[in-house]
């Protein structure tokens, strides 16, 4: 059995930006403190929600180092270190590990994609470059490549491959991964609307977008499940659904960053090519925050 990197609710934290597009470390620090105070079980920095795809390597590593130093071992820090260039990914993995991250989140190669054999070679090289636990990230809707259950099983035999963030939306595939890998691979939901379904298959938690705006809700849902209170977990999962819908009414992280600004955080705008949500989306986000009691 592999000890999970974390159990419960991990937030895929946004990266707040100044008006000139640089990282706003003051606000990032405030967000991290708020997340920990409200029960978040892990911080995932420089993931998709954190806009790592438009960061330089220096920016990415500086955000990781800042997060590690701010969190100061209170909860695990998982650092995004994915790339569709294996050599580049290896350098990022080593850099993130040197910053003190507890684990690495590695997305499948995108655009150039690869075969299942290529995935195994890619992740193996990057895991060994980092030398710390790895959570694979399967999000075929963004990358165009899917980690198949048999590939997950082969990768799970590597001692550094600790888990998988499953964002395929395919519950049957998640069940197949759980059956194939057993305790050799810890499964995390990559979809906020599928937390309880994945936990019911033996999942260890969620890497959450919604936790940016409702950390207590997501934490309490996971905690209820692990405490054996299935009914409360089910109820809280259903309470999340309007927020899930609103946070994905446009490309992530456009809605959640807009929502954070509405909630009083100086989150700034997304970097291009991401732009502000349209007027209809803005109305939907604001109305949802109000109806869910997050905005007065």
Which of the residues are catalytic?
137, 165
The residue ranges of DSSP E strands in 169-251, in sequence order, are 186-189, 205-208
Q: Which residue has the tokens 């409360």?
A: 232
Among 80, 89, 95, smallest CA distance to 118 is for 89
Distance CA 116, CA 228 (A): 37
CA dihedral 216, 218, 220, 221 (to 10 degrees): 160
Distance CA 125, CA 172 (A): 29
Three-class DSSP category at 255: helix
Is 49 part of any known ligand binding site?
Answer: yes
Distance CA 273, CA 166 (A): 26
Among 66, 72, 79, smallest CA distance to 5 is for 79
Q: Which residues contact 175 (CB under 8 A, 6 or more apart)?
A: 201
Three-class DSSP category at 7: coil
Q: How far is CA 85 from CA 94, 96, 110, 114, in A?
A: 14, 16, 9, 11
Residues found in the chain = 296
Q: Which residue has the tokens 């990197």?
A: 5
Is 48 part of any known ligand binding site?
Answer: no
Q: In the structure encoding, which two tokens stand for residue 167, read together?
A: 């964002």
Annotated binding site for pyruvate: 49, 207
């Amino acid at each position: 059995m592999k000890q999970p990197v974390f159990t419960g609710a991990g937030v895929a934290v946004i990266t707040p930006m100044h008006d000139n597009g640089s990282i706003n470390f003051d606000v990032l620090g405030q967000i991290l403190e708020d997340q920990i105070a409200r029960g978040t079980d892990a911080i995932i920095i420089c993931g998709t929600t954190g806009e790592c795809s438009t960061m330089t390597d220096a920016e990415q590593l500086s955000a990781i180092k800042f997060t590690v130093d701010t969190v100061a071992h209170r909860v695990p820090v998982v650092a995004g270190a994915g790339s569709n260039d294996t050599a580049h990914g290896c350098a990022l993995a080593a850099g993130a590990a040197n910053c003190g991250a507890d684990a690495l989140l590695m997305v499948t190669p995108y655009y150039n994609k690869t075969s299942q054999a290529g995935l195994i070679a890619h992740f193996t090289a990057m895991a060994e470059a980092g030398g710390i636990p790895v959570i694979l990230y399967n999000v075929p809707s963004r990358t165009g490549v899917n980690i198949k259950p048999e590939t997950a099983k082969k990768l799970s035999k590597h001692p550094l491959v600790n888990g998988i963030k499953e964002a395929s939306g395919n519950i049957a595939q998640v069940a197949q991964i759980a059956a194939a890998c057993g305790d050799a691979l810890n499964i995390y939901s990559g979809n906020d609307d599928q937390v309880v379904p994945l936990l019911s298959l033996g999942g260890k938690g969620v890497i959450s977008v919604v936790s940016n705006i409702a950390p207590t809700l997501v934490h309490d849902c996971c905690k209820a499940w692990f405490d054996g209170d299935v009914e409360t977990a089910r109820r809280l999962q259903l309470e999340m659904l309007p927020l899930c819908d609103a946070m994905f009414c446009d490309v992530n992280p456009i809605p959640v960053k807009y929502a954070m600004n509405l909630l009083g955080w100086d989150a700034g705008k997304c970097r291009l090519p991401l732009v502000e949500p349209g007027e209809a989306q803005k109305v939907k986000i604001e109305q949802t925050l109000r109806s869910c009691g997050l905005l007065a």
